[in-house]
């Protein structure tokens, strides 16, 4: 069972409850998207992330797409109108900021805190691609022809272990304060630690078998990275101060994704992984990876994102196993609710504030990629999922 994410310093009674666990109630309902964002030209979304201001208000949503002819584009979406910004370039089917040259099978997209630099990585070539991005505060007011990005670097991250084997870059994470970019390399079972000041790999950390996802937890002197090791059935806890594995923890069958809250104190149970083999989500202590329990979720979970209101996590599922596609929400009290959808949802999901007020604190939308129609983003009202 999933323990409550509460402070370890609370009363002994709560600690006992954590150890005993909770009887969780599964609530089921059916929901539909409140909107859809569609691409033409047989384009498939490969990543999705939101740029926000200091109050959490969305400025722009960025996405990476790949066409069936392996051409890759970076897109910007206006969060209010849900329309693509920029102009159609290079005879592409949709407006975009740039066609990324020589990027094969893009995986993931991360932004600096000011949203002026973005990074993605190619599964097939193992390279990290960096872009300079327009000012997010004015991108929506620019003429279409001026909404452009520039490719600024290409960094070799994952090495090809054999001539006929792809480097297998699976995911990436940005440690901005440490000027490091971390890339999970599935073919070599390592994490490449890139020094962004030099643009070179500074260290390689051996982790479990086939790291499919990577997440960061940085708070004061505590700097950790976690990999979900798909074939190894484990979570690796990396100490970023020394670039060594501090702990390896069991994580069920086929752990596919991992997430941690980088703003919570280390005494909070604020890190989670999902396992596809047994359709579960587990929680663990960020400092050392010690497990605190697990719960059942929807079928074939792929994405896991923190509730921006601090009320748990949301899990997106493709449902390709038993048909239970949709979204599971795990509240901070341990209750699991399941919202069934007809959409087959992918691993990349992002929250967008819908209130557009001085401080976004009430209404959120969950934008997620539809794996059944890869050129489609489905927009859900997060309040309907709670």
Residue spans per domain, the chain: 12-385
Say what the pLDDT of residue 255 is: 97
Residues 6+ apart with CB under 8 A from 77: 37, 60, 61, 62, 63, 83, 84, 85, 377
172 pairs with which residues across the strands? 183
First CA to last CA across the chain, in angstroms?
19
Task: Report the pLDDT averaged over residues 263-285.
Answer: 80
Residues 98 and 370: their CA atoms lie apart, in Å, by: 23
pLDDT tens digits, one per residue of 40-85: 878 899 999 999 988 888 999 999 999 877 899 999 999 999 999 9
Residue 12 has pLDDT above 60, yes or no: no
Residue 345 has pLDDT above 80, yes or no: yes
249 pairs with which residues across the strands? 235
Residue 2 has pLDDT above 60, yes or no: no
Average pLDDT over all residues of the chain: 87
Task: Report the pLDDT averaged over residues 336-363.
Answer: 84
Residues 90 and 40: their CA atoms lie apart, in Å, by: 15
Residues 6+ apart with CB under 8 A from 13: none
pLDDT: is 262 or 155 the higher one? 155
pLDDT tens digits, one per residue of 17-38: 232 333 344 668 899 999 999 9
Which superfamily does 12-385 belong to? YVTN repeat-like/Quinoprotein amine dehydrogenase (2.130.10.10)
Instruction: Kindly tell me the sign of the dihedral angle through the C-alpha atoms of 108, 110, 116, 117.
Output: negative
Q: What is the pTM of this model?
A: 0.91
Residue 246 has pLDDT above 80, yes or no: yes
Residues 258 and 28: their CA atoms lie apart, in Å, by: 24
Residue 238 · residue 246 · CB < 8 Å = yes
The CB density around residue 332, as the number of other CB atoms within 10 Å, is 15
Say what the pLDDT of residue 158 is: 95
Say what the pLDDT of residue 26 is: 60
pLDDT tens digits, one per residue of 321-337: 888 899 999 988 888 99
Q: How does 90-121 read in b/e, with b if 16+ C-beta sit within 10 Å?
A: eebbbbbbbbbeebbbbbbbbbeeebebbbbb
Number of alpha carbons in the 13 Å side-chain half-sphere of residue 31:
24
């Amino acid at each position: 069972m999933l323990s409550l994410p509460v402070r370890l310093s609370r009363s002994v009674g709560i600690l006992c409850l954590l150890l005993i666990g909770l009887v969780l109630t599964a609530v089921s309902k059916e929901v539909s998207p409140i909107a859809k964002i569609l691409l033409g030209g047989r384009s498939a979304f490969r990543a999705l992330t939101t740029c926000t201001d200091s109050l959490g208000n969305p400025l722009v949503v960025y996405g990476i797409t790949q066409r069936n002819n392996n051409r890759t584009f970076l897109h910007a979406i206006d969060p209010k109108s849900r329309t693509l910004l920029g102009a159609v370039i290079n005879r592409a089917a949709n407006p975009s900021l740039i066609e990324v040259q020589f990027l094969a099978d893009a995986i993931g997209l991360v932004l600096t805190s000011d949203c002026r630099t973005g990074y993605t990585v190619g599964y097939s070539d193992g390279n990290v691609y960096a872009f300079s991005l327009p000012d997010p505060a004015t991108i929506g007011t620019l003429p279409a022809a001026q909404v452009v990005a520039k490719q600024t670097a290409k960094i070799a991250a994952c090495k090809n272990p054999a001539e006929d084997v792809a480097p297998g870059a699976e995911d990436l994470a940005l440690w901005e304060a440490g000027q490091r970019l971390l890339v999970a390399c599935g073919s070599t079972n390592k994490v490449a630690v890139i020094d962004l000041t030099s643009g070179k790999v500074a260290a390689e950390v051996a982790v479990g078998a086939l790291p499919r996802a990577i997440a960061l937890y940085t708070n004061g002197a505590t700097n950790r990275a976690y990999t979900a090791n798909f074939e190894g059935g484990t979570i690796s806890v990396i100490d970023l101060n020394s670039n060594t594995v501090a702990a390896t923890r069991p994580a069920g069958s086929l752990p596919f994704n991992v997430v941690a809250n980088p703003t919570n104190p280390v005494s909070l149970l604020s890190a989670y992984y999902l396992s596809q083999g047994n359709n579960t989500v587990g929680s663990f202590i960020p400092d050392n990876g010690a497990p605190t329990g697990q719960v059942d979720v929807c079928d074939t979970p792929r994405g896991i994102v923190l509730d921006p209101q601090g009320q748990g996590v949301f899990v997106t599922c493709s449902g390709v196993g038993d048909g239970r596609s949709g979204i599971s929400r795990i509240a901070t009290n341990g209750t699991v609710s399941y919202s069934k959808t007809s959409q087959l949802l992918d691993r990349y999901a992002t929250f967008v504030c819908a209130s557009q007020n001085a401080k976004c604190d009430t209404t959120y939308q969950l934008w997620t990629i539809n794996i059944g129609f890869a050129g489609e983003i489905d927009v859900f009202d997060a309040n309907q999922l709670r």
